[in-house]
Structure 1
Amino acid sequence: MSPSRRKANGSRCSCTRGEIDGISGGESFDRTCTHCNGSDSIKPDPASSWFLSSLSETKLDDSEKLRRIIVASLKGFSVGTGIKGGLALFSIVVRFARRRSSSKSRRTGDFSNSEAISMGIKETLRYGLFLGTFAGTFVSVDEAICSLVGHQRQTAKWRALFAGLVAGPSMLLTGPNTTHTSLAVYILMRAAVLASRCGIKSKRFGSICKPLTWEHGDLFLMCLSSSQILSAYILKQESLPSSYKSFLNKHGGKDLSILQGIKDLASAKPFTNLRAIEKHYKSVGVDIKLDPNMRIPCSMIHGGESCTKHGLTFFLQAYMRALPVYVPVYLIPALIVHRQDLLKKQYSILGKGLFGTARSSLFLSTYCTSAWVWTCLLFRTLDTCNIPLVAIATFPTGLALAIEKKSRRIEISLYCLARAIESFFTSMTEAGYIRPPKILRRADVVVFSVSTAIIMHCYAQEREVFRSKYLNVLDWVFGVPPPPPPPLPSEET
């Protein structure tokens, strides 16, 4: 027992005989004991986000509140710069590698290496300020409510919700004219998942949310997302974010002239670029003559090859394209997270990284290959090509997600669902079916703020609905809330 747990006369404090869980060094603690309640040795950690809601009679002084705000801001800044800086560094390294391997001179309108580095640094700092401000604002609002309103137990159920809502507009620090629709929709999907998990465990909404427990719901979401994303890839690429469009163009493995030809055929429009398609195939050693009266696009998709042979050759090429994508995804985190065990378990760690790389590459290559296989199969079976058939043919492509391990499926499906929703509403808006409200200029900020409010509320009240890897990050930034103490005697009566 620490000296502070003894009274002035040297006798043991009577509260140590109780069965109350300890909060400091495993010792017991009783707020009804004047000695314990006044001891400096058992003050809770001020880095904890919601200890005020747990210990309603313990108050922080101003210096501790300020320290908590500064610590959360710095940690948020480090997370933002770490994530965005890592992505920017990888992009710059890839850029240098391409420049060295290419004998072509700099293209008009392309960025120089120094400009790319400068842009990467600016983006890194912006995202650091964004997440740092978000964390600092959240903690500041949380502390302000506790100081102004008091009765921390009564405000605990809505304080994190309100603080998350107020902190959401920090997204504007990434650039006042830069919209982040994809990020906002993705965070909204994450919030919806957390809310559904809370609903499943709720007695009131458990029966309503029961369908959400479907074991293969992630595959169904992926199929829905694939139908929209791949249809947009073929028919309306401008509805996709530029970075995602580049990713699809690379792994889709088809020249833009081929995609335009399929679009013309599906839209029942006259062909505008058959000669460009023939020229493309001639550049790769295939001499073909396309029929302007064709009913199905197979000859455009795979030239002189059969559908079966094209599927096999395309799969091998797609796998080689996918490997460079997943090598850094698996090996770099393994080197960082397990750096201390590399000398002891290097074969196990590297083996898991290589297996994960091979597995995810198999998923991506199968996904891309099946998109063209299902398209050819359906078009040949029905001997026609139109827009509804494109959407139907790309739906089962999402089944390729079953190759991935279970823990990654929901992450990938939610990411693709966010992209699909953005593409769908962009297409509907451009077609005139949806008119965005003139008053709401930054809908992405509103959606992001509402989503972060839900997420932070779940973090404060329903921690068990989070996966451990996300919970660890939030705990590191905001602090680990201690378990709720037993009710006060006044509350029991």
Structure 2
Amino acid sequence: MSPFPEGSLSGGAAAENGLAGGEMGRGGRYEASGGAGPSLNGVSLPGNRLYSLLPDEGCSDKESMRRLRRCIVAAAKGFSIGAGLKGGLALFAILSRLRSRRISASLRKAGSLSNAEAVSAALQDTLRYGLFLGTFAGTFASVDEAISALGGNKRTAKWRALVAGAIAGPSMLLTGPKTQHTSLALYILMRAAVLASRCGIKSKRFGNVCKPLTWRYGDIFLMCLSSSQILAAYILKQDSLPPSYMSFLKKHGAKDSSILDGVKDIANGSALTKLNAIENYYKSTGVDLKLDPNMKLPCPIIHGNQSCTEHALSFFVQAYGRALPVYLPVYLVPALIVHRQDLLERPYTILWKSLIGTARSSLFLSVFCSSAWVWTCTLFRLFKKCSTPLIILATFPTGLALAIEKKTRRMEISLYCFARAIESFFTCLADAGYTVHAGRLKRADVVVFSFATAIIMHCYDQEREVFRSKYLNVLDWVFGVPPSLEKDSKGQS
């Protein structure tokens, strides 16, 4: 389920400033390495000194401009990525909405937005996420440069990015100050945990402890765990999932709320109170269905007059059509950003790979959604009953669909889902009285997000090899990387 990207900004800073005998820092900053120091136009400058933003420093004007340029360009590029990705997803969603010719009565009662309202909301979200990533990038670059200027490049190298990442974290508030973004914060925390585990694996001290994390099929197992919680909550505990994610599940689960309520009633052993609503729903689709109030298996509720096999095949075809608009922007928008240079040189190759990736990911999502109903019907008929434990058990193997995806994307998707599964799981525990609701902890999401971004940016600055090349390319493009480090920016393949 989907579900969340080369150049150098400051590579020529040293040449432009005419500096010699020094060392270029990781962020393109320059610091003299000792001795009599570098010279500028025949004038000897003090050694062991960083050229800062102060006006009385040698070459301060050019260095100040370089620092300022880095901060502004980082903010602009961060904004372009945030607005581009969010705007691309919103555009495809709006186009899909405009092409839809039928809106069910249940959606109208739920107060769905008009087309104009949907466009306005999409534009606002696009602007918010653009400002969020733009502010994050600009804040990180500014704090990084300020600490480097005041404390020295070498002296602060080990912790500077950690602090800058933590300070930039509260920029997440720009996505919506009144709404807690627990899912986003947990997802970024999962990403930070993966990077930290990679650092631990290559560490002599923690290598043996982190060795289980190298399990080949760990990503698929994690997806199965996530699927069990998410899909069970989709049927039994919908309010434990974020509204936006629940909307995504409703679209791709493709079942009316009355159908889900009917399955839930049978699983809980409750009286079937939604039979009329279910029959009316099927009648609106041209299916004349009469349900037995004493039924023990919910198969007629799930797929009407179709058999389980017929439903699986027809659902799969429809699910594939719903999945394509989801993954087109996921592949095409990053292709325009990450592979922008290759796109000019070999456009057909890049576009072909993007289309193949779209087709493959759409196949994953359609198999994932259709297999969820296949497994539930199979276990219901096998055990001749429907219960909460059976639903949890039946949705576990649904995660095996992740094997269809490209290996490099599997962990990405499993972490995305695992973050939502964790949020749903603890919400269920809180509703049962075992824990405190996350909503009562004001802005805990910002604290978690800031902690995670501190780890991620520290790894980016000090442990670059733990990043995969495509993510490292995006970070380098946004924050800049000096030519002396370009050879290290390949990361993991």
TM-score, normalized by the shorter chain, greater than 0.5: yes
Q: Aligned equivalents of 2:134 and 2:408: distance in 1?
A: 29
Aligned pair in 2 of structure 1 residues 146, 94: CA closer, same or farther (>3 Å)? same
- Going from structure 1 to structure 2, the CA distance change for 1:437 and 1:139 (only over 3 Å counts) comes to same
After superposition, give the CA deviation of every residue in 1:145-169 in whole Å (9 maximum; x if it has no partner).
3344x25433222221122112111
Paired position in structure 2 for 1:47: none
- Please state how far the C-alpha of 1:394 moved relative to its aligned partner: 0.2
- What is the SS of the residue equivalent to 1:207? helix
Q: Distance in 2 between matches of 1:263 and 1:134?
A: 43
Q: 1:82 to 1:313 in 2, by over 3 A?
A: closer
Counterpart AA for 1:357 = T
Deviations along 1:297-350, one digit per CA (max 9) or x if unpaired, are 122222233323322232223223323333443345556766776787565444
How far did residue 117 of structure 1 move? Answer: 3.6
TM-score with structure 2 setting the length: 0.81
C-alpha distance in 2 between matches for 1:145 and 1:249: 48
Rounded to whole Å, the distance in 2 between the matches of 1:239 and 1:197 is 31
Larger Rg: 1
In structure 2, the partner of 1:383 is: 384
The equivalent residue for 1:136 is 138
Shift of 1:389: 1.2
Q: 1:324 to 1:40 in 2, by over 3 A?
A: farther
Equivalent residue number for residue 264 of structure 2: 263
Distance 1:351 1:136 in 2: 34
Give the length in aligned residue pairs.
447
Post-superposition Cα deviations, 1:8-38, rounded to whole Å, max 9, x if no partner, equal xxxxx9x8xxxx9999xxxxx9945647x22
Partner of 2:53: 61
CA distance in 1 between counterparts of 2:459 and 2:24 reads 25
Task: Evaluate the alpha carbon distance shift between residue 267 and residue 193 of structure 1 in structure 2; reply closer, same or farther with a 3 A threshold.
Answer: same
Is the CA contact (8 Å cut-off) linking 2:236 and 2:264 kept in structure 1?
A: yes
Aligned equivalents of 2:48, 2:299: Cα separation in 1: 70
Identify if the C-alpha distance between structure 1 residues 67 and 425 changes in structure 2 by more than 3 Å, giving closer, same or farther.
Answer: same
The alpha-carbon deviation at position 183 of structure 1 amounts to 1.0
Displacement of 1:107 in angstroms is 5.3
CA distance in 2, matches of 1:340, 1:142: 28
Q: Does residue 455 in structure 1 map to residue 431 in structure 2?
A: no
Query: RMSD value over aligned CA atoms?
Result: 3.3
Letter in 2 for 1:96: L
**Contact 1:200 1:210 (C-alpha < 8 Å) held by counterparts:** yes
**Aligned in 2, Cα 1:349/1:170: closer, same or farther, shift over 3 Å?**
closer
1:429-470 deviation digits (Å, cap 9, x = unpaired): 233221148984111101100000000110111001111121
Deviating more after overlay: 239-248 vs 349-358:
349-358
Aligned to 1:395: 396
Distance 1:437 1:232 in 2: 17
The 2-side partners of 1:432 and 1:57 are apart by 59
For 2:70 and 2:334, locate their aligned partners in 1 and report how far apart those are by CA, in whole Å: 29
Q: Which amino acid aligns with 2:141?
A: V
**Residues 86, 282 of structure 1: CA spacing in aligned structure 2 closer, same or farther, 3 A cutoff?**
closer
- With 299-308 and 361-370 compared, the bigger mean Cα shift is at 299-308
Aligned-pair distance for 1:353? 3.3
3-state SS in 2 of match to 1:121: helix
Q: Which amino acid aligns with 1:74?
A: A
- Cross-structure match for 2:154: 153
What residue number does 1:162 align with?
A: 163
Single out whichever of 179-188 and 108-117 deviates more from structure 2.
108-117
Cα deviation, residue 240, structure 1: 1.6
Structure 2 Cα separation of the partners of residues 40 and 425 of structure 1: 65
Q: Could you state the TM-score of these two structures normalised by the residue count of structure 1? A: 0.81
Q: Residues of 1 paired with 2:397 and 2:76: CA distance?
A: 45
CA offset digits 1:18-67 (Å, max 9, x no partner): xx9999xxxxx9945647x22479xxxxxxxxxxxxx9644233424434
The alpha-carbon deviation at position 102 of structure 1 amounts to 5.1
Q: Which digits, 9 at most, give the CA deviation of each residue in 1:368-418, with x for residues without a partner?
A: 111111111112111221111111110000001101111111111111111
- How big is the shift at 1:192? 0.7
Contact 1:56 1:151 in 2 (8 A): no
Cα separation, partners in 2 of 1:38 and 1:344, compared to 1, 3 Å:
closer
Q: Aligned AA for 1:309?
A: E
1:183 aligns to 2:184 (yes or no): yes
- The separation in 1 between residues aligned to 2:352 and 2:72, in whole angstroms, is 41
Q: Which residue of 1 is the match for residue 208 of structure 2?
A: 207
Aligned residue number for residue 419 of structure 1: 420
Q: 2:96 touches 2:325 (CA, 8 Å); kept in 1? A: no
In structure 2, relative to structure 1, the CA distance for the partners of 1:332 and 1:70 (3 Å cut) is closer
Question: Greater shift after overlay, 438-447 or 270-279?
Answer: 438-447
Matched residue, 2:128: 126
Residues 471-482 of structure 1: pairs in structure 2 closer than 5 A: 471-480=472-481
Q: Which moved more, 1:246-255 or 1:405-414?
A: 246-255
Equivalent residue, structure 2, for 1:83: 85
Cα deviation for residue 268 of structure 1 reads 1.3
Assess, with a 3 A threshold, how the Cα gap between structure 1 residues 296 and 184 changes in structure 2: closer, same or farther.
same
Matched, 1:222 2:242: no
Q: State the identity as a percent.
A: 67
Counterpart of 2:243 in structure 1 is: 242
Q: State the distance in 1 between where 2:325 and 2:125 align.
A: 24
Distance in 2, matches of 1:125 and 1:205, equals 42
Write the mapping of 1:18-57 to structure 2, written as runs, cut at 5 A: 31-32=33-34, 34=36, 37-39=38-40, 57=49
Give, in whole Å, the separation in 2 of the partners of 1:191 and 1:262.
38
Q: Relative to 1, partners in 2 of residues 1:296 and 1:439: Cα closer, same or farther, differing over 3 Å?
A: closer
Deviation, 1:483, is 5.4
* Range that drifts further, 246-255 or 349-358: 349-358
Mapped to 1, the partners of 2:147 and 2:338 lie a distance apart of 37
The 1:380–1:56 alpha-carbon spacing in structure 2 relative to 1, beyond 3 Å, is farther
Deviation at 1:215, TM superposition (A): 0.7
Contact 2:23 2:32 in 1 (8 A): no
Change (3 A) 1:304 1:220: same
Quick one: structure 1 residues 170 and 328, their matched pair in 2 at CA, closer, same or farther if it must change by over 3 Å?
A: closer
Unaligned runs of 5+ in 2: 1-13, 26-30, 55-63, 486-493
* Cα distance, 1:110–1:322 mapped onto 2, change above 3 Å: closer
Determine if contact 1:77/1:128 at 8 Å carries over to the other structure. Answer: yes
